[in-house]
Amino acid sequence: MVLACLSVLLLFVAGCSGSEPSASGVTQQEEAATEAPTDRPNIIFVLTDDLDYTSAQKMPQITSLLADQGTSFEEAFVSHSICCPARATFLTGLYDHNHNVLSNRPPDGGFETFVSEGHEENSIGVGLQGAGYRTAFFGKYLNGYPADDPTHVPPGWDEWYGKLDDQKLYDYSINENGEEVSYGNDEGDFFTDVLSRQATDFVGRAAPEDQPFFAYVAPTAPHGPSTPAERHKGAFSEEEPYRPPSYNEEDVSDKPSQIQNTESISEKEGSRIDNHYRERLESMLAVDEMVGSLVEELEVAGELDNTYIFFTSDNGYEQGEHRLQKGKNKVYEESSRVPLFVRGPGVRAGSKTQKLALNTDFAPTFADVAGTEFQADGRSLAPLLEGDEGAPSWRTSVLLEKLPTQQGYQAVRTETHKYVEYNNGERELYDLEADPYELESLHESADPSLLEDLKARLEALKNCSEEGCREAEDAQ
């Protein structure tokens, strides 16, 4: 197993901030750093914004340096496919119904809800810092951050570079360790490049030290406005339009009313979708270069073989599928499926896994490879870093959920089916083996025994927590 090489398991509770002094006046964090073995792996987490699975495959350095040199998760999902709830899950390892960050803004979501629910004191940053890791955050944190205090630095982060102006790529500000720093509109101010310089500089400073590090790097690409760097404009101008079978779906009579009432995509609208698709790809090229810079810096420091790099997205993106011209926050594969590549010590190069992965799994995975513990609804992905052979027994389902509003839903996504219950009483059911593009819902014609099984699985997941979630996901 990947983790067998770790000689010591540190049993720190994730909720501890590591800042309370002991009787000797030394903080728990300082004691952990002193006692921790120096060969524990570093961890870099790259979280893109709205990157769909297909577009990720077109990035040359992400493909050659991460996918080809590590494990590709072919069935990776986010439970709620929209920014803030998904990011709250990455930070806590909890499903929406447990962290209660249900949307991008108050009163039921956003940064303020994350804080009021007490999650900043119990994030994976706090957990790893308490376990002796040097922690640093770069980029987009949570929608609505920083509310009324642009100098706010959340607990758990030794270094903090939090973006203050949402998606703007020029003329924005960054909270750099408690100081608001403004950037202009010169070419050198392009946000992804600034992010790359800051993250690479941190790796260059931290890698030679004995203390292991955790870097959370969150670019805003390819989220709209999907502005590419000047050097990348036009790089995908000849890219063929993306036309999966679900694009501009012809017959939507089996879909819920919100889709049934959607008009077919016109030629003009299709052209706009295609232009945005190319802009999104071009905006990702600076992220692709950032990944290359991080790998190069690690190699120069002699730490590449001792560093896990996780690359994923907070959600996928609709680009004309099922007549949805743009966006996310839907139950369909295009919204909920995300790219996930992992390279690192013990990870077999070029391996792939078809096992179900979820964003509840990242925090417990980071804790696992760091040799500590973290209470979460998810599970460590470490057994899968060798490919499917590493974990012959694995979960058979995950929960997809969007709790508020009449268009909300809860769904169970198994290895072969997806069953959806909408808040307004509508239903969907797809056989993903026979119909991977979700073109024909079987909710009115399926075998009653199949429906009953899927309903029971969903019912077990709806209000689960921690070990109860893992047991419900494992049900056969």
Q: Strand, helix or coil at 404?
A: coil
For residue 72, give both structure tokens: 């590709």
Please report whether residue 133 resides in a domain: yes
Q: Is residue 209 part of a domain?
A: yes
**What confidence score (pLDDT) does residue 19 get?**
40
CA distance 130 to 238: 49
Residue 282 lies in a domain: yes
Identify the CATH number of the domain in which residue 328 sits.
Answer: 3.40.720.10
Q: Is residue 330, in this structure, part of any structural domain at all?
A: yes
Task: Compute how many other C-beta atoms are within 10 angstroms of the C-beta atom of residue 95.
Answer: 29
Rg of the chain over Cα atoms, rounded to whole angstroms, equals 22
CA 268 to chain CA centroid, Å, is 33
What pLDDT sits at residue 39? 83
Tokens describing residue 51: 């990157």
**CB–CB of 403/101 below 8 Å?**
no
User: What pLDDT is stored for residue 166 in this prediction?
Assistant: 77
Task: Confirm whether 265 is domain-assigned.
Answer: yes
Question: How close are the terminal C-alpha atoms of the chain, in Å?
Answer: 25
Residue 242 Cα distances to 33, 247, 281, angstroms:
49, 8, 12
Residue 421 counted as domain residue: no
Q: Tell me, what's the pLDDT at 26?
A: 40
Strands (E), 403-468: 409-414, 417-422, 427-431
* DSSP element (H, E) containing 135: strand 134-139
Q: How many domains in the chain?
A: 1
In terms of phi and psi (left: phi > 0; alpha: psi -120 to 50; beta: otherwise), the region of 277 is alpha
Closest CA to 361 of 374, 339, 378: 378
Q: Is residue 461 domain-resident?
A: no
> What is the DSSP code string of 41-68?
PEEEEEEEBS--HHHHTT-HHIIIIIIT
Strand-pair partners of 321? 247
Amino acid at 229: A
Phi, then psi, of 383 in degrees rounded to 5: -60, -20
Please, what's the b/e burial string for 267-304 (b: 16 or more CB within 10 A of its CB; e: otherwise)? eeebeebbebbbbbbbbbbbbbbbbbbbbebbeebebb
User: In angstroms, rounded to a whole number, what is the distance separating the alpha carbons of residues 10 and 28?
Assistant: 12
Given a cut of 70, the residues of the chain with pLDDT beneath it are: 1-38
Do residues 53 and 47 make contact, with C-beta atoms less than 8 angstroms apart? Answer: no
- d(C-alpha 253, C-alpha 96), whole Å: 30
CA angle 226, 227, 230 (to 5 degrees): 150
CA distance 405 to 82: 14
What angle, rounded to 10 degrees, do the helices at 83-92 and 362-370 form? Answer: 30
Does the annotation mark 83 as catalytic?
yes
**Predicted local confidence at residue 226, as pLDDT:** 97
Residue 33 belongs to what domain range?
2-395
Distance CA 37, CA 390 (A): 25
What does the DSSP assignment read for 15-31?
A: T--S--B-TTS-BHHHH
Domain annotation covers residue 341: yes
Active site residue: 83, 84, 464, 469, which one? 83
pLDDT tens, position by position, 372-393: 999 999 999 999 997 777 778 9
